[in-house]
Structure formats: C-alpha cells, structure tokens
Structure 1
Amino acid sequence: MRMRHIRLLAATGTAVAALALTACGGNGTGTEDEGAALSTTPTTSAEKAASEKAASKTPQAGTGGRTANGTPVARTHTPDARPSASPAPRGAQGGTGTSGGSGTSVVLCNGANTTVTAQPLARPINHMLITVKNTGGRTCELPYYPVLRFDQMQWVPQADRDTQPQAVVSLAPGESGYAGVLLSAADGSGTGGATARKLTVGFQGLSPNSSGGPSATPSLPAKGVYYDSSLKVTYWQQEMDDALNW
C-alpha cells in the first residue's frame, strides 16, 4: 500500500511538470514564446516612424520644395513677383517732357528753350509786349500767364481773366507766343509808381502757380520802364493782335 501511494504522487508530479512546460512554450525557459509575442511591436513602430519621416519630407502646395524622389513641386506664387507699374500722372517739371496717360509728352516753354523780348508800346499807351519764341527742337506749351517781377518787386501782377484763351498756347519750333502788359494807369490813378531797369519773366507749370522751369530776363530800355499799382498782364496768346488789342 505504501509503495502504491508513492507511485501515485510521482505520476501526479510528472503530469504537473508537463503542463507547466506546455504553458511556457515547451522549451523550459519561458522566454521563446514571450519574445515571439512581442516581436510584432517593434516592427510596427519602425514602419510608423518611417512613414512619418517620409511624410515630413513631402512639401506642401505653394512651398516650391521637392518630393522624396526629387520631383519639383509647382509654386502657387512667384516669390520675386512685383506689382505692375502704375501709369505716370500727367505733369511737368522744369521744362522736361513728361508722359501722360495717352503716351504723349508735354514740353513747357521757359527760359531754357526760348528767347524772350520785352518791348514798350506807343499804342496802347503805357503798354508793353512780351514775345516768347520757341528756339528748341520740340513743340512747347505756355500755360496760364507770365509771372512778372520788376527789380526787387515783392508782389506779383495779376492776369486779366477776360483774356484767358480757350486752349493752352502751343508753339512749334520757331513760332512765337505773346502777352500784353499794362504798366500804369493812363489817368494817373495808380499808386506806388517806380521806374524799373530789370525784368524777370517767370513761367508756370501745368498747374496754377507751379514752376514751369527757368525764368528769363529780357532787356529793358536804358531809361527803364515806369509802372505803378495798376500793373497787370494778359494770359499767353497765340496771336500778337490778341495781346496788343487789350
């Protein structure tokens, strides 16, 4: 009886050991199956990392970069693009030609491209004629009226608005424009009379009271020219008669 009991315990122990080996993978170490079970995790992580790395190299639209295989990606804009230039406004400075919206150019008449003379007149009495001749190679314009200054005069004679022409005076090379000057009142009603020996003729630009370029200093008679507070001028005229009959 005792020997039978010992054999039963031995058989039971052997069966338990076999079951334990089967649960551990049959190699008795307990590591082979455990390693096999974990082997899929590193592979998945590596593939994910590689996928993310490749994705990070793929450029976004408009960056102008390259794909992973070196193929350029078209830009959505040009980095060196500049806005188109706006057309230059019409205007003039110092007698230089300037382009307008129509593509034409305007040259102002002034002391640099004309000769200017000042001639006192017997009739109308107390009047003077200013003549401007275009000596340049291009047609020039005479906007508004001359700006006169006798000697060191501190005021500017005004223009008679009744003499304003319908169009700006335009002089082809060799042509002349004119302006009349009332020097003093015929009835002696003017004040502050003085005799001037120097005259400066200024030119206006395309906007009122702007500079049209260099002025001119035409000669006056040796005895000078008398003027008073009645001093005024006409607008520039295309015809001499329009400047004289004023």
Structure 2
Amino acid sequence: MRSNRIRTTALAATALLAALSLTACGSENGTSESAKAGAAAPAAHQAVKQSPPPAATAAPEEKTTGTGTGTGSTPEATATPSARSDGKNTTGSTKRTGSGSTTQPDRTPVTCDGGNSRTAVTTVSRPLNHLLLTLTNTGDRPCYAYYAPGLRFDDAQAAFPVLDDSQPQAVVTLDPGQSAYAAIGLTGEPGAGPAPRKATHLQVHFSGRSGEGSTGTPVTLTLPSDTYWDDNGFVTYWQTEMADALTY
C-alpha cells in the first residue's frame, strides 16, 4: 500500500511537474505572443502615422495637378494668340505669295500709236480754218508721242506738211490717261495755191524714235462736215498743252 502511495505520489508529482512545465511553457509562449503583439502594435501605430503624410502629400499633388491644369489652360490661352499669329502669318505669307506670283506692271515707255492710244479730231473756233487732234494714252504703260502726226486727207498722194517751228523742247511723254495735242491748219494764204478741196476722212500715222517713216498702227478718222484743205496747210508737232498747239 505504501508502495502504491509512493507511486501515486510520484505520479502526482510527475503530473504536477508536467503541469508546471506546461504552465511555464504557456507563460513563455504567452510572453512571446504578447511581445509579438506589443511589437505589432507599434508597427500598426507607425503605419497609421505614415499614412497621413501620403495623404498630406496627395493634397499638394492635387494642388500641383490643379496648377498643372491651370498651366495647361494658360498655354491654351496662349495658343489662341498663337493661332491668331498663325492667321496673321498666313495672311502675310498670302500677301508675299501674291506679290511673288503677281509680276509688277511693266512701266517701260513705248511709242504712242493707234494700238495703245485713242485719236480724235474736232473743230475749233479759233484760230480759223483749224482742226485739233487729241491723242490719249489708253494703254497701261507710258508712251512717247514722237515728232508730229503724219496726215493724209482721203486719197492724197503726199503727206500733209509739218510745221517745223512748232517742235517742242522735249519728246511728249504720256502716262496712261494723259493726252497730247496737234493743230491742223487746213489752208494757207488765200490764192497762194490750188483751190481748197473737200475731205471726208483723215489718215493719221505715228512717228517712231528715228523720225523716219511711220510706226505702229495708223488710224482713220471721219472729218467734221465741210472740211476743206489745200497744199499750203500744216500740222504741228505733238504738244502737251492744247493752248500751245493752237498758237500756230
């Protein structure tokens, strides 16, 4: 019996030791888990503390983004003047292209003739027995009215005489739209030659720079009614002023 008690006591002691051992292990494990939990708590707390900075950083990022949007709109606002500037540049280039592709008018003077001028014949009250020739430049270039017009009444064989005393100091130059004038003295002194002859048409020829012969396109004009001429008549050189032509 004693032996059984000892054995029982031993078993009880062994069980107690085992229980104590388990308790100690549990205590150690508990301490370890607590330590781990304690260590984890600061980590969680630290994570909470770190999360606001990104949030705080996010706010500036929104401001930065807002600024970026503002900056983006600013270039757009700048883009509008740029577009206007492009429009102006395009207009400028159009103008340059227009001036580059469109040649400037040729202003080189030519000889006045029936192709670039209009010739008219009219009667005048003074001097008597005179007609007035008017030559108007209808072209787009200046023209020179050289010397005097060459005249032929109807089917006359010879050209009408030219009054040399009427020669101007310089060649008459007509810009487009301008006119020159020449007076026609139809007859000379009464009884100085053959009787005057009636004419219905007048041929007008134009002199070139050399003064020899005629050049360009001649014209034929219908004379005023009851026009009479004789071989002693004359025609003046072209003049820039009507009054100068009619002084002869």
TM-score (norm 2): 0.54
Instruction: Give per-residue Cα distances to partners, 1:29-75, cap 9 Å, x unaligned.
Output: xxxxxxxxxxxxxxxxxxxxxxxxxxxxxxxxxxxxxxxxxxxxxxx
Match of 2:203 among 196, 200, 223: 200
Deviation at 1:106, TM superposition (A): 3.4
Structure 2: 5+ residue stretches without partners: 1-106
More helix per residue: 2
Match of 1:158, SS?
coil
Deviation at 1:186, TM superposition (A): 5.0
Deviation at 1:224, TM superposition (A): 4.0
**Which residue pairs with 1:163 in the alignment?**
166
Deviation at 1:229, TM superposition (A): 1.5
Deviation at 1:122, TM superposition (A): 2.0
Written as runs of structure 1 = structure 2, the 5 A alignment for 1:62-211 is: 105-185=108-188, 187-211=190-214
Instruction: Give per-residue Cα distances to partners, 1:70-95, cap 9 Å, x unaligned.
Output: xxxxxxxxxxxxxxxxxxxxxxxxxx
Match of 1:219 among 199, 219, 222: 222
**Which residue pairs with 1:231 in the alignment?**
233
Deviation at 1:188, TM superposition (A): 4.0
Count the aligned residue pairs: 142
Deviation at 1:216, TM superposition (A): 1.3
8 Å contact from structure 1 (residues 192, 229) kept in 2: no
**Which residue pairs with 1:54 in the alignment?**
none
More strand per residue: 2
Residue 224 and residue 200 in structure 1: after superposition, are their counterparts in 2 closer, same or farther (change >3 A)? farther
Partner amino acid for 1:236? W
Structure 1: 5+ residue stretches without partners: 1-103
8 Å contact from structure 1 (residues 195, 224) kept in 2: yes
In 2, the alpha carbon distance for the partners of 1:125 and 1:190 equals 18
TM-score (norm 1): 0.55
8 Å contact from structure 2 (residues 108, 142) kept in 1: no
Residue 158 and residue 185 in structure 1: after superposition, are their counterparts in 2 closer, same or farther (change >3 A)? closer
Instruction: Give per-residue Cα distances to partners, 1:138-180, cap 9 Å, x unaligned.
Output: 1000111000011000011221111100100000000000001
> Quick check: 194-203 or 208-217, which moved more?
208-217
> Quick check: 118-127 or 184-193, which moved more?
184-193
Q: Percent identity?
A: 43
Deviation at 1:211, TM superposition (A): 2.5
In 2, the alpha carbon distance for the partners of 1:190 and 1:242 equals 27
CA RMSD of aligned residues (A): 1.5
Instruction: Give per-residue Cα distances to partners, 1:6-31, cap 9 Å, x unaligned.
Output: xxxxxxxxxxxxxxxxxxxxxxxxxx
8 Å contact from structure 1 (residues 109, 212) kept in 2: no
